[in-house]
Amino acid sequence: MIYDRILVRFGELTMKGRNRGRFEQQLLRQIKLSLRAFSALQYEKTYGRIYIILNGEPYDKVAERLKDVFGLSSFSPVKRAEPELESIRDTALDVMRSLSSVPSTFKVSVRRGWKEFHHDSQQMNHLVGSHVLRAIPALKVDVRSPQVELRVDIQYEGAYIYCESIAGAGGFPYGTSGKALLLLSGGIDSPVAGWLALRKGLELEAVHFHSYPFTSEQAKQKVIALARRLAHYTGRPLKLHLVPFTEVQTALAGQKQDHLMITMMRRAMLRITGELAERHGASAVVTGDSLGQVASQTLGSMNVIGRTMELPLLRPLIMMDKQEIIDIAERIGTFATSILPFEDCCTLFVPKSPSTNPNLRVVEKVESFIPELDAMLQRAVDGTETVSLRATDREPEFVHTTAAAGENDWF
């Protein structure tokens, strides 16, 4: 590998005006956190970009980790040259000779960020291109559709030469958009919603409801594994709040209003989550709702369920099809865990015909028949167990027989 550093380009944060500096500093901190395993790396920050000096660290492994850092639009492996003509020409030739296969066509694209450089971009295209052509006669110039585009970026502090640009994760750096709680069910949808929320710069803590002994220890471990995977994208530990829901759930089931069971469960979950959000300083709640996917995600159901909460409810998947959600789940590494067939509390007491258009007045009336409901909700809040999870923690070992679970994703 001839390249000695990585050029990192920023994403949407370049439009942040007076707040841009804060976003850039947070991005640099996130990059350092994500790459802390590579101790020899050094970092240089200039206006609008970051350079990562490899110092012998393996580019491929560093690049693989860099792809998951939010806030990057793209990055490139680059070779630095002195901002002088001969140094740029020689380095450009070295880069072309280092390619794994010799292309038949190429073109040179020079960007002159340092305007005082004594040749303009067009002159440099010709001066660099002719030098490469003389050394590699088999090459031809194709300015419309070249096999390789040799890029030269001339800045005051140096010239950077490269042929490749890799797409970054985009979005905003972690934690620059405030803090939210994610309802994490264990199905396919909610981890994807969490990943999309992280991508928009939200700091997340996850909330999971369990109904022990009706739900198993493996169901809990499955959610822990999903939260740990999300922690991979934060570069730091992620908190998971495990809420005991058995008492509330059985009390709701005791009302014998089966068609309203899902609606009432979700209203109770949001009321508990709202209390947890206040305790932990969160300003929003993220769910994996996708319009029309299940009974609780019709417009009528979401209206009645959402009336329990004053905080903003963020639904990143609301207009996505199931296959689009699955595609993201596979890409971010949560799908294989989400389809493990361990029941969670949302798959208990599921009615055959849930209401898709519940009446708010009727639901509130049924809830009023449970005199201790508020006290039960408070006990659930008080009984919540919080664990802090790192991406590098040891994965639990699952034993399973089918891949049919994860379909009832209520969040």
Binding site membership for ATP: which residues?
183-184, 208-209, 266, 288, 297
107: its two tokens: 């073109």
N- to C-terminal Cα separation, the chain: 46
Three-state DSSP class for 408? coil
Give the residue ranges of the annotated binding site. 183-184, 208-209, 266, 288, 297
- The whole-angstrom separation of Cα 33 and Cα 229 is 16
- The whole-angstrom separation of Cα 136 and Cα 146 is 16
DSSP code of residue 397:
P
- The whole-angstrom separation of Cα 303 and Cα 275 is 20
49 beta partners = 9, 46
- 172 to each of 91, 226, 325, how far by Cα in Å? 34, 22, 21
Q: Three-state secondary structure along 227-285?
A: HHHHHHCCCCCEEEEEEECHHHHHHHHCCCCHHHHHHHHHHHHHHHHHHHHHHHCCCCE
Among 341, 358, 182, 195, smallest CA distance to 273 is for 182
The alpha carbon of residue 93 and the mean position of all alpha carbons in its chain are separated, in whole angstroms, by: 38
**Cβ-based burial of 368 (10 A; exposed 0-12, middle 13-18, buried ≥19):** exposed
Helix axes 360-368, 299-306, angle to 10 degrees: 40
